[in-house]
Amino acid sequence: MFKAKVIEGREFYKAHSRQGQIFLITLPVAGIMSYALGNFDNLWNTANIAFTIAALINIPNLLKVRKLYGVRTIEINENEISIRSKKGENDETFDLHEVKSITLKDNYIISQLSFVDSLKAIAGNPTETYLILSYPDHDRRIDFDIDSYYLLKKLNDIIKIWEKKGYKIYRPKLSVESVSAT
């Protein structure tokens, strides 16, 4: 069984990105403030003040991230997907026999594992980890966070079982034409 934290809304990615952006600009601001004051001996004091101000500015983003991340968990097995509350109560269950298709990412990775991934997230292009369950009358997207190699392996093992069971799996690939067109 695969278990991970659910990301409750796509606005999580924007709030998480804003957190990084605010702290990324703090150090240059501290340097400029020290230069303007003409005293680099106070750089650390100025940096501490700048980081404190940044932390205070960042409180709304932090609250939004906390509200949208990890409130519920996703549990995935061979036949169903469940969303559970923090208390372990079953909020939603999706029987995979009833879905028309399952859309998966072409390649799942651990979020923000590398420095480059972190910079992409700060720039507003985060690694989104999701699956989409397609029913005849609607689709249901579920975003979640893979935070370890163990979870990544468990998810890939379950996907292989789904393929063997004959579930219709769709993995859109980004083509060279679509990349060059943007």
pLDDT, tens digit (0-9, with 9 covering 90-100), for 45-73: 777 777 888 888 888 888 888 888 888 99
Mean pLDDT to the nearest integer, 135-162: 93
- Average pLDDT estimate for 148-157: 92
Q: Which of 7-11, 37-41, 148-152 has the lowest mean pLDDT?
A: 37-41
Question: What's residue 3's pLDDT?
Answer: 94
> Taking all residues of the chain, what is their mean pLDDT, rounded to a whole number?
82
What was the pLDDT predicted at 23?
Answer: 75
Residues 61/15, Cβ–Cβ less than 8 Å? yes
